[in-house]
Structure 1
């Protein structure tokens, strides 16, 4: 497949001011893309855009992925401003670490609503524009779609749902010439991961992500895979080769992960340390 050049194309990113959103936006701008940056904090998105160039190439808008009307208004404004939307990156996401038995129901519902329903709303709002350009929809999922950590019920459920949603949507849109992909990074350093490490349950569960199965990878590796995935209009983007195997044969690695990833009293210890809020934080 020939390379899908980003030069002059408009890429819309939700959750743009988060750790991954910020890094991806900068990399896309370096490829010559115009950027429509959407974030819950519109002022922060506007300042982010100003750092990347004049309004002709980057502009920020306030948008809440939990509100379809808010999202649609921002998307339509971005399409009018740039004249087109070629690529959508549904990046907004949140996480928490708490067991099903004690997690605050409001936290559970918020994670599902942002991580899964938010992707649906983002795709729904941008699709009319992306269809016109025969563009590409990308959702930020996670290796959590395939490797299901305890104390992360709503997170792993939402990320597995995003993967399934992308697969279903790809079949719905292929006759329109629209590509659909999902990206599945493992742990990498962001402000959200800093919050996880500050939470006793999260720190216990993954050992601070210092080694072994849960060791973090450089954010640059994730960004490079996202950009390369967009340029190849990939169906499935996994930043590391080892994780790519796990993504393709999740059923075969499940038993191995259960036995080696959470040994001894790791899980009950983490449950004992978890709070009702699960240390919930925005990306």
Structure 2
């Protein structure tokens, strides 16, 4: 069984949710951690919790390549190199293509796609040197689209294919690449959507079978640690998500439309109304962090 002890992992989106819990789980296995997030306060608290000899916290925006390079350089200077990358940072926007705030739509694409590129670009030389492993966090959304979540769907499909292409580029250098695909996880992203939007809760309730169920962050973190340990090509959370990887052509066909279309005329207008009332197309937490990114202290 491969051991993770004394390996070094870079984790983006590390301040909360999946990033934070995966970091804790990795630390318990003896991994050293380079923690990156734009939200400096909880990031610093996590690093303090894990210990200075275990974790380095660097507040940085994944959309800023020089900042990411500086963060990577700091981590390599402290721990000697990078064995694993968990490209986890991501946000979502809500509302139809006609209603969603264009700036928020762009911010989702920037964080979820360019942020992955910047993370990988900055860390790749060290990962190649150590013949390491990169896990790009995509989503079930890469296989199954949802009205009102277009930016998120597009970005997660994009990073899945980014991982597929990257795998071809670095395999001969001894580097393995995987993509993670989760259904709804009980993260701040999903919690905020549930709190903000009655339409989002109706959307989940309308989904068939297990598609509307939410999985714990702990279960997701355990699956990610298993994926990192085994350098897996795909990580599915829960495991049934893997079925949709194989059924993608069916889900996006007219057959899939028959399942996904019926609630849209009822739920999408409600979501658009709620977005207008909120005055934002993303969570209040993301709006606050966007202000930090635009005007860094």
Question: Cα 1:38–1:210, aligned 2, differ >3 Å: closer, same or farther?
Answer: farther
Note if contact 1:205-1:262 (Cα within 8 Å) is conserved in structure 2.
no
Residue from 115, 120, 128 that aligns with 2:117: 120
**Whole-Å separation in 2 of the counterparts to 1:11 and 1:208:** 38
| 2:250–2:256 Cα contact (<8 Å) kept | no
Shift of 1:263: 2.8
State the Cα distance separating 1:195 from its structure 2 match: 1.1
Consecutive unaligned residues of structure 2, counting only runs of 5 or more, are 290-297
Match of 2:36 in 1: 38
Task: Tell me if structure 1 keeps the 8 A contact 2:95–2:272.
Answer: no
What's the CA shift string for 1:15-66, capped at 9, x where partnerless? 101211111011111111111111113343222111012x221121111101
Secondary structure of 1:184 counterpart: strand
1:83 correspondence with 2:80: yes
What secondary structure sits across from 1:231 in the alignment? Answer: helix
Does structure 2 conserve the Cα–Cα contact (< 8 Å) formed by 1:97 and 1:201?
no
For 1:279 and 1:41, how far apart are their aligned partners in 2?
A: 16
For 1:208 and 1:16, the matched residues in 2 are separated by 31
CA–CA separation in structure 2 for the residues paired with 1:80 and 1:74: 10
Aligned 8 A contact 2:16 2:42 in 1: no
1:20 aligns to 2:18 (yes or no): yes
Instruction: Select the residue among 108, 114, 124 that pairs with 2:105.
Output: 108
Q: Do the aligned partners of residues 25 and 244 (structure 1) sit closer, same or farther apart at CA in structure 2, a change above 3 Å counting?
A: same
TM-score (norm 2): 0.88
Distance 1:161 1:180 in 2: 15
Q: What TM-score does the superposition give when structure 1 sets the normalisation length?
A: 0.92
Instruction: Please state whether the residue corresponding to 1:95 is helix, strand or coil.
Output: coil
Please list every run of 5 or more consecutive structure 1 residues that lacks an aligned counterpart in the other structure: none
Q: Which deviates more from structure 2 when the two are superposed, residues 36-45 or residues 97-106?
A: 36-45
Q: What is the number of residues matched between the two proteins? A: 280
C-alpha distance in 2, partners of 1:43/1:75?
19
The structure 1 residue matched to 2:165, chosen from 150, 153, 168, is 168
SS for the counterpart of 2:58 is strand
- The 3-state SS of whatever aligns with 2:185 is coil
RMSD: 2.1
Cα distance change on mapping 1:268 and 1:48 into 2, 3 Å: closer
Q: Specify the alignment match of 2:249 in structure 1.
A: 251
Once superposed, which parts of structure 1, at least 4 consecutive aligned residues long, lie more than 6 Å away? 208-211
Conserved? CA contact 1:12–1:87, under 8 Å = yes
